[in-house]
Structure 1
């Protein structure tokens, strides 16, 4: 299993994405939709504006009616990647890997897998300076665009306001939205955005990213915690507070998962210490349910 530290150390996002996906795509099923591919599926009546090259002229000569040959192709859906790039994603695990580093690797690998499956991929990076959005495309250069956007992203500030987020949900387009976030929010703003995205696109896979030192509370002695988004500080003794911290965290994780599922999201918790394989398999399972 390739560790996230190893993939990050490659300092080559395209290579890391390919390596992370190795072995997962073998035998993966491609969903199918009607289109202009090679395998014949059915006829349908001609409509103004249709491509005349797809007309069946022999059938037209026999029936005096115009029909198009519909076929099946292997492009099946739009995958919309949403990466949280607010300041809390700068939190580093004991391995030196930040949540943003892991999120970049994960989004790159998801984009690679989706592209290999024939899907159109889009990317939205959320930060207070405004949305960075690449619309969905399935052309050969889209991966390069996505990799560049991810490589040049830095985490900063708080979650964008509702006016900044409005363009994301203004247009309804069927898609599988995959959000990578630590879900640290002030007043439910991430939950509201994902609820609107689900209404606009249909499906949401929420990948909740946590650092292992948060989950296991590996801190020792007197320590000062700082909220990376507000600057608020909290001083405590790690040994005295470990049990209470872990109890509070586990309750928050249970509540978060329950709320996400009550909104109809597919929820999956990740650790920055885990290989990317689990999240990629979750995507492929969700895609296969289609």
Structure 2
């Protein structure tokens, strides 16, 4: 099993996504959407970026025109990927990965997996400077767009204000929304966004990302902590504070999970130290349930 550290060390997001998603390409469901399936349905003209494996070379030789053989494939789901790119996602774990590093790997793998399933995929990056949004597409050029956007994303500031996220709520298309976030918020702004998205688009899968060192509080002795979003600092003795910290953290995690499920979200907690397979399985499970 490839660890997130090894995937990150590749310094090649498309390759890392493909490696991570291998072995999870299952669970197709039937639809009437055209694509590179098994049963031939019709021809359409070639467009730049199309998969050349679907080109009908015999027809091209006879007519000097390029057409793709289209079929009816197992698809018809829109997958909407959300990335929390606030500054708290810059928190670095003991394995050297930040939450944002892990989130990039995970979302790239999910995008690859969704496209292999024939799904249309969109990506929205949420940060205070504004919303970066790639509309849902199922063509061969969408994955490179998603990879490039993820690679260019940096964590900064606080979670964006509701007014900046309004375009996400304007669409009324049925979708499976997958949000990767550490769920650090001031006044429930992340939960409010996901609640509204569930109302307009359907199912929401929340992948709650924690760093291993904050989950297990691996710090020792005198430590100075800094809030990555506000810049405030706090000096304390980690050994003295560990029992109280862990108790409060577990209470917060229970409350967060309960609130998410009460709102009708699928909730899954993961850490930056674990392989991506748990989140990928959760995605496929939710995808299959959504398509029924």
Place the TM-score, normalised by the shorter chain, in its bin. Answer: 0.7 to 0.9
Say if 2:202 is the partner of 1:186: no
Say if 2:32 is the partner of 1:29: no
List runs of 5+ in structure 1 lacking aligned partners. 41-70
Other-structure match for 1:130: 130
Other-structure match for 1:242: 242
| Deviating more after overlay: 72-81 vs 114-123 | 72-81
Other-structure match for 2:99: 99
Other-structure match for 2:53: none
Q: Distance in 2 between matches of 1:218 and 1:147?
A: 33
Other-structure match for 1:268: 268
Other-structure match for 2:204: 204
Other-structure match for 1:167: 167
- Partner of 2:130, secondary structure, is coil
- Report the alpha carbon displacement of residue 34 of structure 1 after superposing the two structures with TM: 3.0
Say if 2:139 is the partner of 1:139: yes
Q: Distance in 1 between matches of 2:247 and 2:112?
A: 38
Other-structure match for 1:65: none
Other-structure match for 1:11: 11
TM-score relative to the length of structure 1: 0.87
Matched residue pairs, number?
259
Deviations 1:129-161 (A, max 9, x none): 100000000001000000000001100011111
Q: Distance in 1 between matches of 2:34 and 2:206?
A: 33
Other-structure match for 1:217: 217
- Report the alpha carbon displacement of residue 36 of structure 1 after superposing the two structures with TM: 5.0
- Report the alpha carbon displacement of residue 235 of structure 1 after superposing the two structures with TM: 1.4
List runs of 5+ in structure 2 lacking aligned partners. 41-70
Q: Distance in 1 between matches of 2:267 and 2:128?
A: 25
Q: Distance in 2 between matches of 1:127 and 1:85?
A: 5
Q: Distance in 2 between matches of 1:247 and 1:199?
A: 34
Say if 2:80 is the partner of 1:80: yes
Residues 18, 109 of structure 2: 8 Å contact kept: yes
Q: Which has the larger radius of gyration?
A: 1
TM-score relative to the length of structure 2: 0.86
Residues 33, 76 of structure 2: 8 Å contact kept: no
Q: Distance in 1 between matches of 2:174 and 2:285?
A: 18
Say if 2:259 is the partner of 1:259: yes
Q: Distance in 2 between matches of 1:73 and 1:23?
A: 20
- Report the alpha carbon displacement of residue 243 of structure 1 after superposing the two structures with TM: 0.5
Report the aligned-residue RMSD. Answer: 1.5
